[in-house]
Structure 1
Amino acid sequence: MFRLRTFLVAAAASIAVATGLIVSGPAPEAEAVPDTIPLTITNNSGRGEPVYIYNLGTELSSGQLGYADADGTFHAWPAGGNPPTPAPDASIEGPANGETLTIQMPKFSGRIYFSVGEKLHFSLTPDGLVQPAVQNPDDPNRDILFNWSEYTLNDAGLWINSTQVDMFTAPYTVGVREQSGTVRTTGELKPGGYSAVFDGVRDAGWGDLVHNGPDGTPLRVLSPGHGVGTGDVPADAMSDYIDRVWEHYSSNTLTVTPISHEPDTKYYGTVSGDVMNFTDGSGEVVTSFNKPDSDSVFGCHKELDAPNDQVRGPLSRTLCAGFNRSTLLTNSEQPDPDNSNFYQDPVTNHYARVIHEQMVDGKAYAFAFDDVGAHESLVHDGDPAEAFMTLTPYE
């Protein structure tokens, strides 16, 4: 059931769909974004092990997959094999504890990985790069402490986030410095927040999501989006809530305004049997959703598939967020903008709940469409002067 994952990044498009931001061209009357901008990485982790940095993704000017070195120079991946062949060593020696390193970020859509203690293992298939998939017990990176940030830098600026969609592990923040000198950051844990996430997931009864390293110390918490597949979360974890939602909207209407900058675009959902049908203002059915299971909810896929269109995709993202945040029964108008209403039902995405609780600004990317309503840990600037990544303490 475990599949090798190929790195075919389309982050610019996915960010545009998820946030409603236009990232396909330069901002009106803005100065052109340079070909590279500096990324300053600071190691405040308190750990003494070496750190390795990787900048992997798609070069936007060519569409080629590859990596960038410390100077921001792009290197295309060579052809891979089947079985997968080792990828070239794309690592950059990172800063020691208490030090900083500045590298150049090119116009890319991809990921900044960092690993602690040892280098990551990447390989290539004929389709591209095989990334770490630590939900697979046979993955060679399973016992390595690592994490990553996702970003897009293009003519419209920089989008960079901290992500917990796949797992919660080595803590870090991301930031951007505007041309004015203002710095905005996100992803910072509260004091004691790192340990509190592990404890909170265990207290919720989802302790099997915690993966320990060879020395017995916790390495990461796997997201329930992977946990259903691995058996670390019960396959019926969300079933009671899903059943109650389906029953409620058999006799009530769910109103969804899925695109934030189009407040007059509304759809109306009602359940008939195992199907929720959405109609537009004229009463025409525009799309329908089969009753989802827990895996569909946690992964925002399968029955909650979200194509890159203007109707089903936005509706699916909103439904996915409402299920994970457990707001569909308390607010029939979605998305619910008030995060004080999130995760209040006993049946909810406890992984996402705990992570959000431990963030200084309350924002996180704890499931695929946590950006619905702008509750994600992302910073954007249309004319960035510098980007930041700070490795923070494990407390």
Structure 2
Amino acid sequence: MPLLKTFAAVAIATFVGHSLAVPVVPHPSVANDLVLTPENTLSETNPYRNGPHRNGHKIPASSNSAEELSVSVYNNLQSDSMNAYVTGLDPNGILVCLTPGGSWFAPKANGSISGIIPQIITEDIAIPMGDYGTNTSFTIPSYVQSARIWFADGHLKFYTGLNATGYLTLVEPSPSNQHDPSANVNWGFVELTTNSDGLTVNLSYVDFVGLPLGIKVQGSNGTQTALGVPADAVSSICSALSAQASSDGQPWDKLCISDSSGNALRVIAPYDYIQQNPGAFASYWTRYISQVWAKYSTTPLTIDTQAAAGLVNCTTLGNSTLTCDGDNRPYERPSAGDIFGCNTGPFAIEETDNDVHRAVVPRLCAAFDRSTFLLRGGNVQPSLDSSHYYTTSPTDYYSKIVHEQEVDGRGYAFAYDDVNPPDDDGSNASGLLNDPDPSLLSITIGGPTS
């Protein structure tokens, strides 16, 4: 699953919702209108809350060169106003931002208390990128976890505050809040973690598609790539979603955000749209869920956990729950939001859940998202290859269309895009790259070069 789903993130204020219209045009505002969710907040994990880092200061780079990561960025976007930002948690669990000088900066709380309006980071953390057709290099000076390298055609605004337990929290730009202070900026990010096990990096479209990015890792495993989407991906996705909305009457077209000139700026995921419009897609999956429940009341559904539990048989009980052998609790019927998000309702994983439950959840949600339960062979999950995904309606057309736009078909389009059958041919739809000894992370802005 994408790194963003593992972030130690805690919301620090009440969600502020804004209904969307067609066309959806951002109206940037101030910190009062920030939308704070687990997807755009990152909290420190260091319990030492009153140390000097609270005052905001530079953190020396590690003296161990093995902890450094070299990054090279190629600007394939015809813009001379590109900036990069690097945020994450250092090895001590302290929030850090990379400065243009190459050192970590630990933001301060600015006197905030829990629930109070977050305060903007005023330190210069924008790393200027070269003009169109040029490369820019910088170094991430030490191990970092739950990190993002952000790219923006212009400037992004980041904020800090304290969460309910008193931990310093970074408030990041939100792609779905049209009143976010960075709403008019074309931006995107790459997610990564570096530690003694090496580098893990991925492209994620779980929440939105924005500024096109591609990644390449060179290291002990050779060269690995996830090329991302082409330069015109956002407008192409919006056209396809508009056609789908005309076909089935669902609000796919409202996932598209335009700038003040009417140009497509970004596309948000269905789950994020539902958070602001709770009635959206409400009945979209209802008939399909009933068909799944009916089929597996008489035919066992086998979940291949691809782990110690092996093959687990599941059955539905009437119109209520689905139960699986060895699982610590059953599964209620999901809502549309549950299916699109994979982290609520029956797909929410609790701390007390056993290994069987933790293995079943991603495979169940992936099968719903890709609509493979009722296909021939769908009684074993996962068992069908990607040629069977999104072939019947209802399905997650956002995910389907995003994957169609990906140059090499790689990049998370929903949370469990890394669920694959055990005899998969080696393709990886998630776009996650690993290397135990990376020598260079290369990133392309603005779509792959020809």
Say whether 1:196 aligns with 2:236: yes
Among 185, 189, 211, the alignment partner of 1:144 is 185
Secondary structure of 1:256's match?
Answer: strand
User: Relative to structure 2, which stretch is displaced further, 289-298 or 67-76?
Assistant: 67-76
Question: Is the CA contact (8 Å cut-off) linking 2:230 and 2:446 kept in structure 1?
Answer: no
Q: Is the 8 A contact 1:209 1:233 kept in 2?
A: no
Could you tell me how far apart the structure 2 residues matched to 1:49 and 1:337 are?
A: 45
Q: What is the rounded CA distance, in whole Å, between the counterparts of 1:208 and 1:174 in structure 2?
A: 29
Tell me if the contact between 2:342 and 2:365 (Cα under 8 Å) persists in the aligned partners: yes
Alignment-mate amino acid for residue 358 of structure 1: Q
Q: Which runs of 5+ in 2 are unaligned?
A: 1-14, 17-34, 46-63, 164-168, 246-251, 421-427
1:90 Cα deviation from its structure 2 partner: 1.7
Per the alignment, residue 64 of structure 1 pairs with 94
Give the structure 2 partner of residue 213 of structure 1.
Answer: 259
Cα separation, 2, equivalents of 1:44 and 1:293 = 41
| Equivalent position of 1:115 in the other structure | 152
CA contact (8 A) 2:44 2:94 kept: no
The question of 1:38 aligning with 2:70 is answered yes
Aligned to 1:186: 226
Structure 2 distance, partners of 1:69, 1:310, is 41
Q: CA deviation at 1:357?
A: 1.4
Post-superposition CA distance 1:178-218 (Å, at most 9, x none): 247x3221033368655432222222111111000111101
CA distance in 2, matches of 1:9, 1:294: 32
Asked if the contact 1:318–1:334 (Cα under 8 Å) also holds between the matched residues in 2, the reply is yes
Q: Which residues in structure 2 correspond to 1:88-103 (within 5 Å)?
A: 88-103=123-138
The code of the aligned residue for 2:105 comes to: H
The structure-2 alpha-carbon separation of the partners of 1:324 and 1:340, relative to structure 1 and needing over 3 Å to count, comes to: same
In structure 2, what is the Cα distance between the partners aligned to 1:341 and 1:33? 46
Question: Structure 2: how far apart are the matches of 1:248 and 1:187?
Answer: 39
Give, as a single letter, the amino acid of the residue that structure 2 aligns with 1:229. Q
Q: Distance in 1 between matches of 2:365 and 2:349?
A: 9
Distance, in Å, in 2 between the alignment partners of 1:114 and 1:190 is 16
TM-score (norm 2): 0.76
Match of 1:168 in 2: 209
Alignment of 1:24-35 (within 5 A): 34-35=66-67
Find the residue that maps to 1:158 and give its secondary structure.
Answer: strand
CA distance in 2, matches of 1:236, 1:73: 51
2:431 corresponds, among 377, 381, 388, to 377
Comparing 342-351 with 244-253, greater Cα deviation is found at: 244-253
Tell me if the contact between 1:54 and 1:92 (Cα under 8 Å) persists in the aligned partners.
Answer: yes
Residue 394 of structure 1, CA deviation: 9.5
State the TM-score, normalizing by the size of structure 1.
0.86
SS of the residue 1:136 aligns to: coil
Instruction: State the Cα distance separating 1:307 from its structure 2 match.
Output: 4.2
Counterpart in 2 of 1:250? 297
| TM superposition shift of 1:343 | 0.3
2:373 matched to 1:341? no
- State the Cα RMSD in Å: 2.3
Following TM superposition, by how much is the alpha carbon of 1:173 offset from its aligned partner in structure 2, in angstroms?
Answer: 0.3
Distance (Å, rounded) in 1 between the aligned partners of 2:437 and 2:100: 21
Q: Is the 8 A contact 1:71 1:103 kept in 2?
A: no
Contact 1:33 1:155 in 2 (8 A): no
Tell me whether 1:234 sits opposite 2:264 in the alignment.
no
Taking the aligned partners of 2:434 and 2:99, their CA distance within structure 1 comes to 23
Q: Match for residue 340 of structure 2?
A: 298
8 A Cα contact 1:194 1:394, kept in partner: no
Q: CA deviation at 1:337?
A: 4.5
Q: How does 1:266-305 map to 2 (within 5 A)?
A: 266-272=311-317, 273-280=319-326, 285-303=327-345, 304-305=347-348
CA distance, structure 1, for counterparts of residue 175 and residue 230 of structure 2: 26
- Measured at CA, do residues 186 and 325 of structure 1 come closer, stay the same or move farther in structure 2, by a change above 3 Å? same
Unpaired segments of 5 or more residues in structure 1? 11-31
After superposing on structure 2, the runs of 4+ consecutive aligned residues of structure 1 that deviate more than 4 Å are 190-194
Tell me the distance in 1 between the aligned counterparts of 2:286 and 2:430.
25
Aligned partner of 2:249 in structure 1 is: none
C-alpha separation between the residues in 2 aligned to 1:344 and 1:164? 20
The CA deviation string for residues 125-179 of structure 1, in whole angstroms up to 9 with x for no partner, is 1131111123223211221111011101111111111110110111110110124
Instruction: Please tell me the residue identity of whatever aligns with 2:71.
Output: L
Query: Which one-letter code corresponds to 1:114 in the other structure?
Result: F
Q: Read off the aligned partner of 1:306 and give its amino acid letter.
A: I
Report the counterpart of residue 16 of structure 1 in structure 2.
Answer: none
Matched residue, 2:370: 325
For the residue of structure 1 that corresponds to 2:390, the secondary structure is coil
Decide whether aligned partners of structure 1 residues 135 and 208 sit closer, same or farther in structure 2, where only a CA change above 3 A counts.
same
Aligned equivalents of 2:235 and 2:259: distance in 1?
15
Instruction: Quote the offset at 1:338 in angstroms.
Output: 0.3
> Matched residues in 1 for 2:178 and 2:393: separation?
30
Partner AA of 1:279 in structure 2: D
- Residue aligning to 1:125: 161
